[in-house]
A and B are shown apart, each in its own frame.
Chain A
Amino acid sequence: MATEFPVTVGGASAPSTKLAGGKRLRFAVPTSENGLKAAHFRNGRLAAALLAPQLLVLLFFFFIPSYKALSLAFVQVDPFGGREIFVGLENFTRLFSSEEYRSSAWITLWFTLIQNVVTIGLAMLFAFATDYVARGKGLYKLVILIPYAIAPVISGILWAFLFNPAVGPLAQLLHSFGIPWDPNRRPFDAQLLVIIASVWKHICYDYIFMVAALLAVPTSLLEASRLDGAGPVRRFFTISLPLIAPTVFFLIVMNFTYGLFETFGIIDAVTKGGPAGSTNILVYKVYQDGFVQLDLGSSAAQSVILMFVAIVFTILQFRGVERKVNYQI
């Protein structure tokens, strides 16, 4: 399958040569193809063999399910698999006109937004502090890193316990101040609880990236600024922050993805979407409607909408990465 015609890019072509022992050297000269090493091999069959496992797994567990999700969205189907009625866009129109879905979308938006702001804000504060202190950096970094090992669902359980109106220490504290804290009955309390649990778990991620990014800021620039009389805080805002902006942008996108999808565990373990649907974020609604209420058509339609949102975010994420990588000093 490998062809041997020479390819030239401003250079001489190198035909293949026969070596002793009968092995054929398959040379190639520098090409300008995207993502292909200049020095590469031309063994197409081997490449296919190497790619096969990844592509097969993708075929069975990504492409086919995604296609199925798309097709289920246009039907109404009996959960037992017996009846199926094609309903066109009805599932979608029903979603958009349903107050519950709009409310769920709205809640999801606010969740992810608030989580994003708080996480980045706190992470930035901690990263700045870590960058500035002379001693103990390693220890602080280690401690702050710990929540990375903790699953979101465990974070949810921890905070659910702390804020449990019956036995939780923090809830008792709030009650002693006269605040009728009750995430089982008051929607706001439940939302606050979920936000705290998800932010707590995710700060470390943003923190690590920002610490690394701050480290990459050239000291020469900072020195120059210091000699000009700027204090550390001023230097941070005028020099460091613009330089780590691509990282921050990347993190904002990652935070949105985290808030949209990875908080599922917290919701399922702690509030199950309640009370009164106040913590029923979009991804949880997909699960509820599909797996618990067995309304497969609507659930698939919701999946499709989420797919579009996810695609937008992934594109943004890669644009952000591009900007980061291309940013050379």
Chain B
Amino acid sequence: MKENKLGLSIFCHAVLVFAALLVGLPLYFAFVAGSLSLQEVQQAPFPWVPGAHLIDNAVEAWTTGGFGRSFMNSIIVTVGIVVGKLAISLIAAYAVTYFRFPFRMTAFWLIFVSLMLPVEVRIIPTYEAVADTAGPIRWLLNVVGISGALESLFGYRIDAYLQWNMINSYGGLILPLIASATATFLFRQFFLTVPDELCEAAQLDGAGPIKFFWQILLPLSAANIAALCIIQFVYGWNQYLWPLLFTTDKSMATAILGLKNLIPVNDSVPAWNLAMNAALFVMLPPALIILVMQRWFTKGLVDAGK
């Protein structure tokens, strides 16, 4: 557009500056609060200039909040979610788009249906699923009569061995969160846009499905994979409800939970300076990832909506 409406231009810049302030001011206030001492953070009026305790507060918040452990937990869980989701959805999407077999459509619809229900509506039963993962297996064995047979024939109580409890474990934190098929659906959409000629050429060259997958499809999907990694990293790092339910052990808490425990509630000292400080360093990893990989991320986010 070659026109030059100065008034509108100024207005737009003003709007965007307002937007930047809207985003930036709360973060700035958090930064200031995180650098004040306990007395200073309670004073009125609230200071506009940062105080001198940024590092002290960071150290104190880090140690009292147990963030050394919870950051490690968050990293393990988040990486687990990213890798786990990526792995199972890539191959599942591949299977559903590139293979012809009976019940293909059934499999697809089963996967599709799982998109319908966000995790929050299955809170309690998912908790039980994590706490007693082998429950359905035991039930099945009972119903079919196998456990009864085993017991009477060999005196072997298989029930005792099928007690898998994933509460307070990394598995419990990771598995329910990779159960949704959003990534599968995403990759399926992408695979559908890949030109058929590539596959035909590969088949003519004598490549089997696995070779095709590794050498051709995956490299093609690199951009989507990168975008998905970023989105899932942020998603996994910021998880709140599930870690809240699945970890009763403090040593298994994630960084987000550790932060929540620092929030002053009734019956405690109003240490908002520590809480704000911690909020800043807890939001650092996802923010860094997005800032560094911004280009892929934006594209990926928009593609994900397609």
Contact = CB atoms under 8 A, between A and B. Distances in A.
Check whether chain A touches chain B (CB < 8 angstroms). Answer: yes
Interface of A: 1-2, 19, 21, 23, 25, 27-28, 30-31, 33-44, 46-48, 50-51, 53-55, 57-69, 72, 122, 125-126, 128-130, 132-134, 136, 140-154, 157-162, 164, 166-169, 172, 200, 204-205, 208-209, 212, 222, 226, 231-233, 247, 250, 254, 257, 261, 264-265, 268-269, 283, 286-287, 290-291, 296, 299-300, 303, 306-307, 310-311, 314-315, 321, 324-325
Nearest to B136: A64
B241 A35 contact: no
B108 interface: yes
Interface residues of B, number: 114
A128 B33 CA distance: 34
Nearest to A269: B260
The prevalent SS among residues of A at the interface is helix
Contact of A152 (B130, B175, B196, B240): B240
A140 B23 CA distance: 11
Contacts of B96: 35, 51
Given A35-B97, A44-B100, A61-B126, 18 more contacts: A40-B99, A42-B100, A44-B99, A46-B99, A58-B114, A140-B16, A147-B23, A149-B289, A162-B29, A166-B270, A204-B23, A212-B302, A226-B3, A264-B240, A268-B260, A269-B263, A303-B124, A324-B306
A37 B129 contact: no
A272 to B, nearest CB: 9
27 contacts: A33-B100, A36-B100, A37-B97, A37-B199, A39-B196, A40-B97, A46-B99, A57-B175, A58-B110, A60-B175, A62-B180, A66-B125, A136-B13, A136-B16, A144-B16, A149-B287, A150-B287, A153-B240, A154-B282, A158-B30, A169-B45, A200-B26, A226-B1, A286-B120, A287-B123, A307-B122, A314-B115
Contact of A200 (B22, B111, B179, B238): B22
Contact of A151 (B19, B198, B238): B238
Nearest to B17: A140
Contact of B100 (A40, A130, A152, A172): A40
B210 to A, nearest CB: 8
B136 A222 contact: no
B244 A268 contact: yes
A59 B92 CA distance: 14
B206 interface: yes
A171 to B, nearest CB: 9
Nearest to A306: B121
Q: Which 10 A-B pairs rank lowest in CB-CB distance, beginning with the nearest?
A: A151-B238, A44-B101, A169-B46, A68-B125, A65-B125, A54-B92, A39-B199, A47-B99, A61-B179, A149-B286
B76 interface: no
A241 to B, nearest CB: 16
B283 interface: yes
B19 A167 contact: no
Contacts of B22: 200
A153 B117 contact: no
Interface of B: 1, 3, 5, 8-9, 11-13, 15-16, 19-20, 22-24, 26-27, 29-30, 33, 41-46, 87-89, 91-92, 94-102, 104-105, 107-108, 110-111, 114-118, 120-126, 128-130, 133, 136, 175-176, 178-181, 184, 188, 191-192, 194, 196-200, 203, 206, 208-210, 234, 237-241, 244-245, 256, 259-260, 263, 270, 272, 275-276, 279, 282-283, 286-287, 289-291, 294, 298, 301-302, 305-306
A69 B199 contact: no
Contacts of B188: 35
B196 A154 contact: no
A55 B124 contact: no
B99 A42 contact: yes
A158 B263 contact: no
Nearest to A270: B263
B101 A47 contact: yes
A309 B292 CA distance: 37
A40 B199 contact: yes
B99 A321 contact: no
B108 A232 contact: no
B118 A261 contact: yes
A66 B301 CA distance: 28
A114 to B, nearest CB: 17
